[in-house]
Amino acid sequence: MRFAIGDTDFLLDGEPHRILSGAIHYFRVHPDLWADRIRKAKLMGLNTIETYVAWNAHAPSPASFSFEDGLDLGRFLDLVAEEGMHAIVRPGPYICAEWTNGGLPYWLFADGTVGVRRDEPGFLAAVQGYLEHLAPVLVPRQIDQGGPIVLVQVENEYGAYGSDPVYLRKLEAMHRAIGLTVPFTSVDQPMGTMLEDGSLPSLHKTGSFGSRSTSRLERLRQAQPTGPLMCSEFWDGWFDSWGEHHHTTPAAASASDLDDLLAAGGSVNIYMFHGGTNFGFTNGANDKGVYRPIATSYDYDAPLDEAGRPTEKFHAFRSVIERYAPVPVLPASMQPGGSGRLESYAYSSDSLEARVAPATDVAVRLDRVASLRSLLPALTDWSTHDTPPTFDALGAASGFVLYRTEVDLPSGGVLTVGDEVRDRAIVSVDGTVVGVLEREHHDRAIALPAVAGTLELLVEDQGRVDYGPRIGEPKGLVGGVSVDGVPLARWSASPIALDPVPAAALDVLAAIEPTDGDVLAGPVFAAGSFDLDSADDRYLRLDGFRKGVAWVNGFCLGRYWSRGPQRTLAVPGPVLRAGRNDVVVFELHAAAARTVHLLAEPDLGHTEA
């Protein structure tokens, strides 16, 4: 088959074709749930699935590149093909996506010499290697080779970042050189000169917007007089940041804008069809003068919610789509008021057996407790430095770094971080917490009591900036640390990588005798076990806990924070098992109780503000 760009339409084997696409990021969905989510996209009336490719997820270090398990992009695309659907792939290299560092590997910028998203030899050489790794997955899965891929996007909203046609031309040539033959696209907001600055004549321009479809398409047509109109990011919702309200958009208003888009003859990619979850430490952050880390949930108020259930928006969009294209018959379970389950899909990569819904919530007592300090020998090693090193210099992609030095301050003093705390530091003297420095509040200084002993700063990377000029910046105590203007030297640093928690630390936790009591004083790890009759989606609620990270059966669910708007963490059914299961929580501050709850029914955990 052939896919091409005509004067007015996309052409599939020479015939006009409208793209009805929905975004599903394979790296935000457990791989055993991919088939379920893709099938539901088809049931809404979509004919295409779009995904970014997260370079930094595939390449955690310069010497490694993985397509295993949840990063098996080839398998994801094969499942799209099995549903008879097409695929749009957006390899970036920059993707934004509210994903840490916008998908760019942290190690790429560790020495400060490599350019960011521009015509710079070090950056382009790394991109070349990245694309060469992708070639065996993408090239044979193009539509002209019998696969599902019909479009590939080059870069991502580049017009909002820069205007470097030389860079874009070199990037386009790299994509062609690895064997990609399908049409190439760009995407930008139809505002100002973004459409012109972010593209080339050889790239088909598409728009990104979520409202005022008619006027947005008019601006797109102005920038590109011929070719099919397409909104390749139709924003049907928005993402949440910690401490802000849960974002929603009215289903009727979004459906109306979608109707306007399709009535104008446009093609669409709905962003998101299913958002999923920022598992582990993968969430990004925005910094437009104030640093705002993205929440763990990426529900996005999408047609398919974080739990994989159809929402009001699913049915509203389906009603619009069926005016322009045939839609499949909707199973009774997917009708309004149904369970939202596709009973033919199980949480197993080997079978498609019916699933049984759990009947009750489960309370889990976290009765094995160990302080962070006691677990350090099993978690990490120390290194010594004259000044506090960055996370990047330590080879720490994410998570935490504990900085330690000895001080003699008979009258106390004011501790100051030279430039910036990135992103949050718990300050302790002789094991007693004296305060917190938060980048979000531009905190750089804190008063210390009199001390002759150990000063520690536990620094958390809360998510690397994913949009704008601060992409690629290092993490840690940037600019050094001083007390009353006198620099502190002779530091020890201990990177604490927790995705996954090291096996040695889990062994220590498992061997601890259960204890009574309720209050937890952090930083502390707490573990407990529970039994299930069957494995199905659950939702971890941590009432009384303040801030930290949680795991179930070794799978990192991500960060929790009592400030909201998110109250629960999604636990994918494939992570669980019939019989004994384990929960581990790393609480940074304190918890008023040692009991957490595995909810049986979805409570997406959003607090409206």
Give the pLDDT confidence of 574-591 residue by residue, as tens digits: 999 999 999 999 999 999
Confirm whether 233 is a catalytic residue.
yes
Q: Which two tokens stand for residue 148?
A: 């599902």
Q: How many CB atoms lie within 10 A of CB 490?
A: 11
Which residues have C-beta within 8 Å of that of residue 24, sequence separation ≥ 6? 34, 37, 38, 41, 49, 50, 51, 272, 273, 274, 276
More confident site: 340 or 416: 416
Q: Which two tokens stand for residue 171?
A: 């990037």
Which residues have C-beta within 8 Å of that of residue 504, sequence separation ≥ 6? 378, 379
Residue 600: predicted pLDDT:
80
Task: Return the DSSP state at 203.
Answer: S
CB 49, CB 41: distance < 8 Å: yes
Q: Which CA distances in Å does 416 have to 385, 394, 432, 457, 589? A: 18, 22, 18, 12, 22
Q: Which two tokens stand for residue 212?
A: 């005022």
Q: Exposure pattern of 134-152 as b/e (b: 16+ CB <10 Å)?
A: beebbbebbbeeebbbbbb
Q: Which residue has the tokens 């299930």?
A: 532
205-230 pLDDT, tens per residue?
A: 999 999 999 999 999 999 999 999 99
CB 583, CB 364: distance < 8 Å: yes
Which residues have C-beta within 8 Å of that of residue 512, sequence separation ≥ 6? 368, 369, 370, 527
Q: Which residues pair with 420 in a beta bridge?
A: 478
Q: Which two tokens stand for residue 57?
A: 């997820």
Three-state SS at 439: helix
Nearest CA to 37 among 415, 308, 385, 310? 308
Q: Which CA distances in Å does 361 have to 74, 313, 537, 602? A: 36, 28, 11, 11
Q: Which CA distances in Å does 21 have to 183, 272, 273, 397, 476? A: 16, 10, 8, 33, 40
Confidence class for position 405, pLDDT limits 50, 70, 90: very high
CA 459/CA 545 separation, integer angstroms: 19
Is pLDDT of 175 > 50? yes
Candidates 157, 306, 460, 587; catalytic one: 157
* Share of residues in the chain with pLDDT > 90 (%): 92
CA 46/CA 262 separation, integer angstroms: 13
Confirm whether 244 is a catalytic residue.
no
Q: Which pairs from 330-334 meet CB under 8 Å and 24+ separation?
A: 330/43, 331/43, 334/40, 334/43, 334/310
Confidence class for position 341, pLDDT limits 50, 70, 90: confident
CB 478, CB 419: distance < 8 Å: yes
Q: What is the CA radius of gyration of the chain?
A: 25
Q: Mean pLDDT across the stretch 339-350?
A: 60
Task: List, as one string, the DSSP characters of 30-56.
Answer: -GGGHHHHHHHHHHTT--EEEEE--HH
Residue 13: predicted pLDDT:
97
Q: Which residues pair with 569 in a beta bridge?
A: 540
* β-bridge pairing 420-422 and 476-478: antiparallel
Three-state SS at 231: strand
CA 586/CA 520 separation, integer angstroms: 10
Is pLDDT of 537 > 60? yes
CA 245/CA 314 separation, integer angstroms: 22
Task: Return the DSSP state at 565.
Answer: S
Residue 344: predicted pLDDT:
56
90-148 pLDDT, tens per residue?
A: 999 999 999 999 999 999 999 999 999 999 999 999 999 999 999 999 999 999 999 99
Is pLDDT of 352 > 60? no
Q: Which two tokens stand for residue 593?
A: 């109780």
CA 208/CA 261 separation, integer angstroms: 12
Residue 606: predicted pLDDT:
55
Does the N-terminal peptide bond of residue 13 adopt cis geometry, omega within 30 degrees of 0?
no
Q: Which two tokens stand for residue 234?
A: 């139709």
CA 164/CA 166 separation, integer angstroms: 5
321-339 pLDDT, tens per residue?
A: 999 999 999 999 999 988 8
Which residues have C-beta within 8 Å of that of residue 91, sequence separation ≥ 6? 52, 53, 55, 130, 131, 134, 138, 152, 153, 175
467-511 pLDDT, tens per residue?
A: 999 999 999 999 999 999 999 999 999 999 999 999 999 999 999
Q: Mean pLDDT across the stretch 391-399?
A: 96
CB 478, CB 418: distance < 8 Å: yes
Average pLDDT of every residue of the chain: 94
439-464 pLDDT, tens per residue?
A: 999 999 999 999 999 999 999 999 99
275-293 pLDDT, tens per residue?
A: 999 999 999 999 999 999 9
Task: Return the DSSP state at 171.
Answer: H
CA 215/CA 231 separation, integer angstroms: 12
Confidence class for position 351, pLDDT limits 50, 70, 90: very low
Confidence class for position 356, pLDDT limits 50, 70, 90: very low
Task: List, as one string, the DSSP characters of 91-120.
Answer: --S---TTBGGGG--GGGGTTS-S-SSSS-
Q: State the Cα angle at 169 between 164 and 170, rounded to 5°.
A: 100
Is pLDDT of 353 > 50? no
* Share of residues in the chain with pLDDT > 70 (%): 96
Residue 604: predicted pLDDT:
55
Confidence class for position 355, pLDDT limits 50, 70, 90: very low
* Helices first, then strands: H and E counts in the chain: 11, 36
Look up residue 87 and give its amino acid: A
CA 557/CA 552 separation, integer angstroms: 7
CA 510/CA 502 separation, integer angstroms: 13
Confidence class for position 603, pLDDT limits 50, 70, 90: low
251-279 pLDDT, tens per residue?
A: 999 999 999 999 999 999 999 999 999 99
* β-bridge pairing 149-153 and 86-90: parallel
CA 496/CA 510 separation, integer angstroms: 19
Residue 517: predicted pLDDT:
83
